[in-house]
């Protein structure tokens, strides 16, 4: 996998993380700019996280059957539309549905981006670069969020999210079309996880569940 493909994979992960990594600022904006109660704002954020979780799981099945570039383009387009709808909607129910749709698109981008990084000859190093890029975006986003909310409001912030997703089309052509590993293992391959592997997966699940409960309200 070439560097341009890996950089494209990093880019779509950061785009997929556009709300999650600055979620405390986003929830704060729903409260201060949209006038929503904190519990309601938290539910809207959780709707997006549910969408992300759903497509992260489904991506394993989709990615072996559909061209990765088509999946990436479709997810980016969906994210643009969902952010646009979120900017126009004021009612909590409609906003929650729009954010759930945004989460579905974001989860697909995350899964595809991580899959691209996993194809690197030194994936640990590139995963480190990816985490650094996500954290830099998160730090800058949380720092700038109060100023953005004061100047352009939540509608403007959602417009920036849509523009960020639109910029992702610049790298779609660099996303691999599929995973060559599927030819090696075959669609009927049997995968067996050890007890230790299952315990590691359970630990990761517990960590992210706990993080998801408190992260939205940390700021």
pLDDT score of 104 more than 50: yes
For 94, residues 6+ apart whose C-beta sits below 8 A from its C-beta are 85
pLDDT score of 219 more than 80: no
Give the rounded percent of residues in the chain with a pLDDT score beyond 90.
58
Give the H/E segment covering residue 128.
helix 123-151
pLDDT digits (tens, 9 = 90+) for 65-83: 788 999 999 999 999 999 9
Of 161, 69, 65, which Cα lies nearest the Cα of 116?
Answer: 69
If pLDDT is split at 50, 70 and 90, which confidence band does 102 have? very high
Burial status of residue 156 (CB atoms within 10 A of its CB: 0-12, 13-18, 19 or more):
middle
For 141, residues 6+ apart whose C-beta sits below 8 A from its C-beta are 21, 22, 25
Distance CA 162, CA 70 (A): 19
Q: Is the dihedral of CA 216, 85, 163, 15 positive or negative?
A: positive
In this structure, what is the dihedral angle of CA atoms 13, 49, 144, 85, given to the nearest 10 degrees?
100
Is the pLDDT higher at 61 or at 165? 165
The model carries a pTM of 0.85
Q: Give the Cα-Cα-Cα angle 117, 119, 124 (nearest 5 degrees).
A: 55
For 30, residues 6+ apart whose C-beta sits below 8 A from its C-beta are 36, 40, 41, 44, 45, 154
Distance CA 86, CA 45 (A): 12
pLDDT digits (tens, 9 = 90+) for 174-187: 999 875 554 443 44
If pLDDT is split at 50, 70 and 90, which confidence band does 164 have? very high
Is the pLDDT higher at 33 or at 183? 33
Tell me the average pLDDT across 103-124: 91
pLDDT score of 205 more than 80: no
Distance CA 18, CA 25 (A): 12
Distance CA 57, CA 219 (A): 29
**Residue 209: how many other CB atoms lie within 10 Å:** 10
């Amino acid at each position: 996998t070439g560097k341009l493909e890996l950089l494209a994979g990093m880019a779509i992960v950061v785009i997929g993380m556009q709300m999650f990594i600055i979620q405390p600022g986003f929830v704060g904006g729903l409260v201060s700019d949209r006038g929503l109660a904190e519990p309601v704002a938290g539910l809207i954020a959780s709707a997006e996280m549910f969408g992300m979780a759903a497509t992260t799981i489904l991506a394993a099945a989709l990615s072996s059957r559909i061209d990765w570039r088509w999946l990436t383009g479709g997810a980016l387009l969906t994210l643009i539309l969902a952010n646009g709808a979120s900017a126009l909607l004021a009612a909590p129910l409609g906003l929650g549905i729009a954010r759930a749709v945004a989460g579905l698109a974001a989860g697909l981008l995350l899964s595809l981006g991580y899959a691209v990084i996993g194809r690197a000859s030194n994936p640990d190093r590139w995963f480190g670069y990816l985490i650094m890029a996500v954290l830099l975006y998160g730090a800058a986003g949380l720092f700038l969020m109060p100023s953005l909310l004061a100047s352009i409001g939540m509608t403007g912030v959602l417009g920036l999210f849509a523009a960020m997703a639109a910029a992702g089309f610049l790298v779609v052509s660099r996303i691999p079309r599929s995973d060559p590993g599927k030819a090696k293992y075959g669609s009927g391959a049997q995968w067996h996880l050890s007890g230790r592997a299952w315990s590691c997966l359970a630990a990761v699940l517990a960590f992210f569940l706990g993080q998801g409960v408190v992260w939205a309200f940390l700021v």
